[in-house]
Amino acid sequence: MNPLQKIIHSYPLVATMRKSYIKILFIFLPLLFFSCFTLRASKNSEPLPPTPLPPLPPEGRLKLLKPLSIDWIQGDRNAPVVIIEYIDFECPICAAYYPILQELKRKYGDKLSWIIRHNPSISHPEAFPASMAAEAAGRQGKFWEMVNLLLTNQKEWSFKSSCTEAFLQYAKKLGLNEEQFKKDLQGVEGIPLRKRILADCLSAIRVGVDGNPNFFINGEKIPNPSNLEEFSTLIEAELIKRKSDKS
């Protein structure tokens, strides 16, 4: 059993609860989500986003599940296969998928692009600050580099009160302007970044995301593959479909 499968099988109760209570979550998640994260992520007050609407119909979902102008995209946005991942940086399963996504990028090259959208969970107290760290690094052109450090070093900062210290160390390692990075993590200058993350969270609700990670391939939600081979099979099928559509 590979590391990803071990992690997945170690959460049977979570999987069962997710299936049983998904309707309840859709009712109460918005209220819990925004109240918890606004308090956790910032000491400054800011206007909350409007109450999220229910999941969109299929045609509306497709619009949100295409590369958007605000998206972080690794690869060509016009690639034949576009993977959108809704992610929680403190989620162990998300971290376990990271090397698989890296291998897929190496394997398929310009045939594949990968989009990350934030979906920090209320059960992971440092997930929102980690998303802030990624966005703050992105403001200085190092989003994907920070993502790499957050996911490969997750055990260093996860569930620790000193996570900010770890993020500052990563910023220094990446050669970022540390003072600007600090300002972006907290205070007024960080408000646009918080709103950017919450926008992703709203889109997650509207397209029917029910946990982390959630993957979409060319706008279609897929069951989370348990290994590289299963993920490759799905991508190969999509490449064949795209080739068939052109012929």
Q: What is the pLDDT of residue 6?
A: 57
Q: Is the dihedral of CA 52, 58, 63, 67 positive or negative?
A: positive
* Secondary structure (3-state) at 221: strand
For 203-232, the pLDDT digits (tens) are: 999 999 989 999 999 999 999 999 999 999
Q: pLDDT digit string (tens) for 9-50?
A: 554 434 433 443 333 343 344 444 444 444 443 333 333 344
Q: How far apart are CA 83 and CA 138, in angstroms?
A: 20
142 vs 123 pLDDT, higher one: 142
C-alpha span between 116 and 94 (Å, rounded): 11
DSSP 8-state symbol, 224: P
Res 64 pLDDT > 70: yes
In angstroms, the Cα distances linking 28 to 22, 100, 120, 197 are: 10, 33, 16, 19
Query: Terminal CA-to-CA distance of the chain, rounded, Å?
Result: 40
The whole-number pLDDT of residue 34 equals: 41
pLDDT, position 244: 80
Angle between helix 127-138 and helix 191-206 axes, rounded to 10 deg: 120
Angle between the 163-173 and 127-138 helix axes, to the nearest 10 degrees? 20
pLDDT in tens, 151-195: 999 999 998 778 999 999 999 999 999 999 999 998 788 899 999
Share of the chain above pLDDT 90, in %: 66
Cβ atoms within 10 Å, residue 246: 7
Tokens at residue 229, please? Answer: 């081979």
The answer to whether residues 73 and 81 touch, using CB atoms and an 8 Å cutoff, is no
Band the pLDDT of 58: cuts 50, 70, 90. Answer: confident
State whether the Cα torsion 132-136-138-142 is positive or negative.
negative
How high does pLDDT run on average in the chain? Answer: 83
Select the more confidently predicted residue: 6 or 244: 244
pLDDT at residue 2 in the model = 61
Q: Residue 109: is its pLDDT beyond 80?
A: yes
pLDDT at 61: 83
CB 90 within 8 A of CB 124: yes
The pLDDT assigned to 219 comes to 94
User: In this model, does residue 87 exceed pLDDT 80?
Assistant: yes
Beta bridge partners of 72: 116
pLDDT at 125: 92
Q: Are 190 and 183 spatial neighbours (Cβ–Cβ below 8 Å)?
A: yes
Write down the pLDDT at residue 15.
Answer: 41
Q: What is the CA radius of gyration of the chain?
A: 18
Percent of the chain with pLDDT over 70: 77
